[in-house]
Amino acid sequence: MSYLSELKDEIRAYFEILEPDFPKWLEEYIETPALLRSASISNSCGMVYTNLIPSNFFYSNLDHSVAAALIIWHFTRDQKQTLAGLFHDISTPVFKHCVDVMDGDGEKQESLEELTLKFIEDSPEIMKLLERNDIKLEEVSNYHIYPIADNDSPRLAADRLEYSLSNALLLYNKLSLDEVREIYDDIEIGKNEDGLPELQFKTKKNARKFVKVTCEMSIIYRDERSRYSTQFIVDILKNLSRDDVISRADLFEKKESEIIAIIEKSRYGDAFKTWRKAKRIETSKTKPDEVYSVRSSSKVRFIDPLVKGERISKICKIAKGYIEKNLAYDMSDYIYLNLKMPESQSDKLRDFLINAKKATYANKSALSIKASRQSSTDYEYKDDDMVYHDTYFGGNNFMGEEIVYKGKEPVWGMNYYGRLLGSSDEIFGQILRPALMRVGENATLPLRGPEEFIVNNYKYTFKTTGGLDEFSGVETIYANETKIYELVCHGGKIRK
């Protein structure tokens, strides 16, 4: 069975509007494994899985890519531009832009686009077709070079037009099939202010209607339901990653349904079930107690299309009003459901390490335990089924190892080596131990002390790279401007 033969009737009818004569040459590219993987990814970034929105129509990332390609082909009849449109989301992971947010790119949502070339290059099937058709990789791996395929907001291009029409038709029921056809048939290629080609409307009527619908959906994209759902999915994916349940590669290699199955079987399954069944979101001006809540912004999307060479906002007060209302939407409230997000195992490890370190060497009142090895100094801390053990050798020059056990299994460790540089060991009590008692301050890794700590003429610093999974660090103490102590450390999670 091919992709086209299994199309839902609603999508097939929509595609026929975008391009009545489906290009046969495009089918070979669509049927490659690199593209077919995205058929399991929801274009709605996971919103389709919750009752918070009224529609559960599954429109895939592949559907979006094919539709964008059809729009480009319809207006340009250019193979290279069309393929650039088809490939533009080839590197999309499960839950789509949720992973952009996870990567700290919630505003632009472009953090994964740099992988496009690699995904194409790593597909022998696509590369063979490109070579056969005498098309260079750089001609189809960046759709930003083609203004009909993509341009800067608020201009109109195929990508922006496609997700607007498909969402309005299939997900949010803002337009009927006939209304989509009327809007689409009113579009042509024009020239914008910079003299570049851009999709534009022939009539003010259809442009105004398009702006009304897209502004309404722009608010939906960042309303309470969407912002909560995005951050909820992001936090679950982060926690599963921290807990070593899923890897970064899984986000690109597994189907969305497979990741959902993992979530449902995990410690976050009950919360996920509550979110899926929820029909109403709650808001608050203050942070609610005892529940998982979200307070975040989101990417602002709006389109100010051309009508015969002029921006609709400059020639139509009504359309300008739609845009202004969209841009003024407030996102300052806390959003919540009646659910709790279980703490990740890594969060538990972080809290445990902070408590353990403050109760052992860093604490001048802490007592060492019986030496575990000849000439070693040992400290131990226990909490429930977790045990922290610190063993070191030496004095002015010293080396040691910290191990955390869960039950009888070692799960985390750190090796360290420190030395005095022409100073006395009095600094251990004067600056080092006080600094180590500030472990974990300001969200720093709970390994040694804070990034910086000053006492009198002493300055302590601790610089790290990585995370609790895998890290390295350098600890220094200066007296005035002279370095008098240095320690290096490295470590991470222990796995069988």
Cα–Cα distance, 436 to 442 (Å, whole number): 14
- The H-or-E segment that residue 412 falls in is strand 409-420
Domain CATH code at residue 226? 1.10.3210.10
User: Tokens 């890794």, residue?
Assistant: 445
- Peptide bond connecting 154 to the previous residue in cis, omega within 30 degrees of 0: yes
Q: Are residues 283 and 391 in the same domain?
A: no
Strand 306-307 to 197-201 pairing: parallel
Q: Are residues 429 and 290 in the same domain?
A: no
The token duo for 171 is 């997900």
Cα–Cα distance, 419 to 41 (Å, whole number): 53
The tens place of each residue's pLDDT in the chain, 496 residues long, gives: 899 999 999 999 999 999 999 999 999 999 999 999 999 999 999 999 999 988 889 999 999 999 999 999 999 999 999 999 999 999 999 999 898 888 886 555 466 667 899 999 999 999 999 999 999 999 999 999 999 999 999 999 999 999 999 999 999 999 999 999 999 999 999 999 999 999 999 999 999 999 999 999 999 999 999 999 999 999 999 889 877 789 889 999 999 999 999 999 999 999 999 999 999 999 999 999 999 999 988 889 999 999 999 999 999 999 999 999 999 999 999 999 999 888 777 778 889 999 999 999 999 999 999 999 999 999 999 998 999 999 999 999 999 999 999 999 999 999 999 999 977 778 899 999 999 999 988 778 899 999 999 999 999 999 999 888 889 999 999 999 899 999 999 999 898 7
Q: Are residues 317 and 360 in the same domain?
A: no
Strand 458-467 to 452-455 pairing: antiparallel
Q: Are residues 312 and 351 in the same domain?
A: no
Confidence (pLDDT) at 244: 79
Domain extent for 447:
345-493
Confidence (pLDDT) at 110: 63
Phi, psi (degrees; rounded to nearest 5) at 80: -65, -45
Strand 482-493 to 470-479 pairing: antiparallel
- The H-or-E segment that residue 461 falls in is strand 458-467
- The H-or-E segment that residue 485 falls in is strand 482-493
DSSP 16-47: HHH-SS--HHHHHHHTSHHHHGGGGSBTTTTG
Strand 187-191 to 197-201 pairing: antiparallel
Q: Are residues 150 and 207 in the same domain?
A: yes
Cα–Cα distance, 73 to 485 (Å, whole number): 66
Q: Are residues 272 and 368 in the same domain?
A: no
Q: Are residues 170 and 243 in the same domain?
A: yes
Boundary-marking domain end, from 303, 336, 369: 336
Q: Are residues 227 and 293 in the same domain?
A: yes
Boundary-marking domain end, from 311, 336, 361: 336
Q: Are residues 407 and 280 in the same domain?
A: no
Confidence (pLDDT) at 112: 66
Confidence (pLDDT) at 52: 93
The token duo for 166 is 């498909």
Cα–Cα distance, 68 to 80 (Å, whole number): 13
Boundary-marking domain end, from 336, 353, 383: 336
Cα–Cα distance, 55 to 38 (Å, whole number): 21
Q: Are residues 84 and 181 in the same domain?
A: yes
Report the domain count for the chain. 2
Q: Are residues 327 and 350 in the same domain?
A: no
Q: Of 214, 256, 210, 223, nearest to 41 (Cα)? A: 256
pTM for the full predicted model: 0.77
Q: Are residues 331 and 350 in the same domain?
A: no
Cα–Cα distance, 208 to 459 (Å, whole number): 63
Cα–Cα distance, 163 to 166 (Å, whole number): 5
Do the beta carbons of residue 400 and residue 388 sit within 8 Å? no
Query: What residues have CB less than 8 Å from 479, skipping those under 6 apart?
Result: 423, 427, 457, 458
CA 467 to chain CA centroid, Å, is 17
Confidence (pLDDT) at 113: 67
Number of Cβ within a 10 Å radius of residue 312? 25
The token duo for 21 is 């004569």
Confidence (pLDDT) at 228: 95
CA within 13 Å, CB half, 207: 29
